[in-house]
Structure 1
């Protein structure tokens, strides 16, 4: 029977039926043996299994956090990296190792090399933030900057591997790496021998979930293993659903630790065979989960580290679970401080404590007061308005809420009062840009097209954009807000004649920057056009 995936009522959770196929399961308990014999404790520590008491009480279930953010490099990655390197021969170690990474794997390899007294070459994209480069160099790694993307760095690393006789340490698609990550599950079951209903594991390339699933299914097969991905980086889920590896054209960059376009061959094989279910979460839910963990532990996770917690909350809401025991592996805490502003803003929406609306009110005295009266005891968190019409005004308003269902109730309240309104709570353009801009229309903005781009955060990115434009095209709107990430999100209005449509398409394709055409977005129509 071919591997398939059965969609549930919700589009965010898909159950794999492949786990019933013995032919796909690693034979002879090979991974169990590898995990039991893994040499991770020469460098890694046994991390805590911490109860999330506040979150558990709120959800009506027991929630535990497997704290891999406590490791020396604030990530689980050193387990697999060290186990791989510890199994190399003395001759291989003498020549040194190499990897391609801009994140946690790079630090894991560098620290492991320091422990084993061997050379470590780390190839990183030139777009890598200095803080990450400094962290690797502080551990003794030799940093080589190459290319604009991980793919470029990976290709160059393979060339250096051959040219210098180095041993490549893959971030996920290697049995020794997988076995190293599997020791997390071994610790978890030793720390909590009682009933566990499900373990939620973030998925990037699949090394972590493969190791965890291999051990759990060999020892406690009744425990569900649930993989978690973001909605914009779900390569593993799509691959399991398709029955073959699927490569994504683009990936979301907020959860950079799981932003993988193509999962590994071995990790796909193991995940397809052993993982019970998948949950997809969005950026707002992840931000809310970071806040939840902070409130329970006073620790700040990176986005990838909070995926499991976000998934538990979503799973409980969808399934109506009560009295269950769930574990989330908090797999990393390498968070840039500057990103906390963005996390704090979006956590309120992710926790359904804020709803955003576009409300049309008459342009007359007392209209705003009438609108506020409709809100009752709710607080207005934001109000943006600029006069643009003699008859009516479009207002961007944020309202404090307690649960998601309040948005629909508010829409009905506005409509009953004669105020046309649109719920913008899930609108990315509204959340990322328009709420931070001064609204208003311009009679000068003829033939305007609106695009939302993701630019690499490095000098020259904007000049490349401007230099590629035709000189007769005009930028009529521009908004950028630094969010402390490796990539910046930019909103651009371009005045382009209709006769230049073909040239515009060619220009957008040549940039190789991810973008969205927002010209027909209702937020644009309400406030900017």
Structure 2
């Protein structure tokens, strides 16, 4: 099936209408002011299964004939696609098997099982899972549901374009994450058919920009496998089907660094109260890093998914607070007498600091018995607030040494 007109996308939309959520399109005054554009977020992190992947998987299975459904389906995935296939197959009463790497997070394996699929844990990386899935497909005659390189899958992802244009007909630009290319192929193709003047910009992780490199080389190019914080788009090789749609309908592709992705995840949580996985945050990362040199445009930033490990969220928050100087650590020399530590803590409180940790260093040999070094870790409202607190303490002749 070639996506030559809107009929394929309209059929996909009909297939999905009782299943997928018409996810929110949220305007952000904060990011609009920061970027000089009107910024809207299309929140596929609020989709069932936590990502857009349900759309393509469900549409693919909806288009299978009775014999194909009877035989069942197989997929290979480390996360979002696995859950989308499991949910979709169960909805149709189709047996599904998903090959997942041994390194896949337990939460994602449990979610896939919970949606009704069988899970085979095999190999360390996606390519090994894919090869195992192909082996099972040949042996058992089941249908393989590709995560991106399939026109039914692409058509399902393209239904997002209808929802954006229904809510915001005056949209000028849509920013879309790129992994294997299924999402951007669907959105770009449908959006350009609906509104030819619209601009579609893809965003990739800088450390594995396989589509950007392929476009520059004018042929599909495989890059060394590197895992980005945006693991959902860490794809070594674009699909041959998706690459043709990208060449035809995508206006340009930009890349973002790991630090830029981490900051976007953090700031989305803080300012918009939206939890995004790394792949979902790359579009905002591109905006905040001035990779989209535009002004006064209506821009939709697609948050493609929200399935991020909670431990990773914690690491990102901790790191960003330190980088932004909103969490600082320092050593202070205090007289080792009753009440002196309490006075210092009270002083920090009056300056607006939130004390996270306090620990006394065992350095009497160097300082003598009258003094002790105490390590403080505090949170502040901003970098400027941190500077204010430190300067106020120094004015009162406290001896401070900044740790971080």
Q: Is TM-score (shorter-chain normalized) higher than 0.5?
A: yes
TM-score class normalised by the smaller sequence? 0.7 to 0.9
Cα deviation 1:189-235 (Å, max 9, x = unaligned) = 001112x2211100000000000000111121211100000111210
- State the alpha-carbon separation in 2 of the partners of residues 342 and 221 from structure 1: 42
1:333 to 306, 309, 330: 306
Structure 2 unaligned regions, length at least 5: 327-352, 354-381, 385-402
Q: What's 1:306 paired with? A: 281
Kindly state the Cα deviation for residue 348 of structure 1 after the two structures are TM-superposed: 5.2
Deviates more, 1:181-190 or 1:46-55: 46-55
Instruction: Confirm or deny that 1:160 pairs with 2:136.
Output: yes
Runs of 4+ residues over 4 Å off in structure 1: none
Give per-residue Cα distances to partners, 1:383-411, cap 9 Å, x unaligned.
xxxxxxxxxxxxxxxxx868xxxxxxxxx
Residue 208 (structure 1) aligned with residue 183 (structure 2): yes
Shift of 1:346: 4.2
1:247 positional shift: 0.4
In the aligned structure 2, how far is the partner of 1:59 from the partner of 1:40?
Answer: 34
Segments of 5+ residues of structure 1 without an aligned counterpart are 1-25, 356-378, 380-399, 403-434, 437-529
Distance 1:304 1:31 in 2: 29
- Residue 33, structure 1, aligned to residue 4, structure 2: no
Q: What does residue 62 of structure 1 align with? A: 38
Counterpart CA distance in 1 for 2:89 and 2:295 is: 46
Displacement, 1:31? 4.8
**SS at the partner of 1:113?**
helix
Q: 1:193 aligns with which of 169, 172, 183?
A: 169
The total of aligned residue pairs comes to: 339
CA–CA distance in structure 2, aligned partners of residues 312 and 31 of structure 1:
31
RMSD of Structure 2 on Structure 1 (CA): 2.9
Deviation sequence 1:323-356 (CA, Å, 0-9, x none): 221111110000111001321244358xx8359x
Q: Which residue of 1 aligns with 2:101?
A: 125
| TM superposition shift of 1:167 | 0.5
The answer for the alignment partner of 1:239 in structure 2 is 214
Q: How much does 1:56 deviate?
A: 1.5
For 2:262 and 2:228, locate their aligned partners in 1 and report how far apart those are by CA, in whole Å: 14
1: distance between equivalents of 2:19 and 2:299?
A: 28
Indicate if the aligned counterparts of 1:293 and 1:299 stay in contact, CA closer than 8 A.
Answer: yes
Match of 2:324 among 353, 378, 390: 353
Aligned residues of 1:43 and 1:112 also touching (Cα < 8 A) = no
Asked if 1:78 is matched to 2:54, the reply is yes
- Secondary structure class of the residue paired with 1:193: coil
Cα deviation, 1:348-390, whole Å, max 9, x if unaligned, reads 58xx8359xxxxxxxxxxxxxxxxxxxxxxx9xxxxxxxxxxx
Pair 1:229-2:204 in alignment: yes
- Structure 1 counterpart of 2:244: 269
Q: CA deviation at 1:126?
A: 1.2
Distance 1:267 1:190, change over 3 A: same
Q: Is the 8 A contact 1:245 1:263 kept in 2?
A: yes
2:276 partner SS = coil
- Relative to the length of structure 2, the TM-score reads 0.78
Find the counterpart in structure 2 of residue 46 from structure 1: 22
Is 2:147 aligned against 1:174? no
Pick from 69, 77, 85 the counterpart of residue 101 of structure 1. Answer: 77
2:142 and 2:148 map into 1 onto residues whose CA distance is 18
Q: What residue in structure 2 maps to residue 439 of structure 1?
A: none
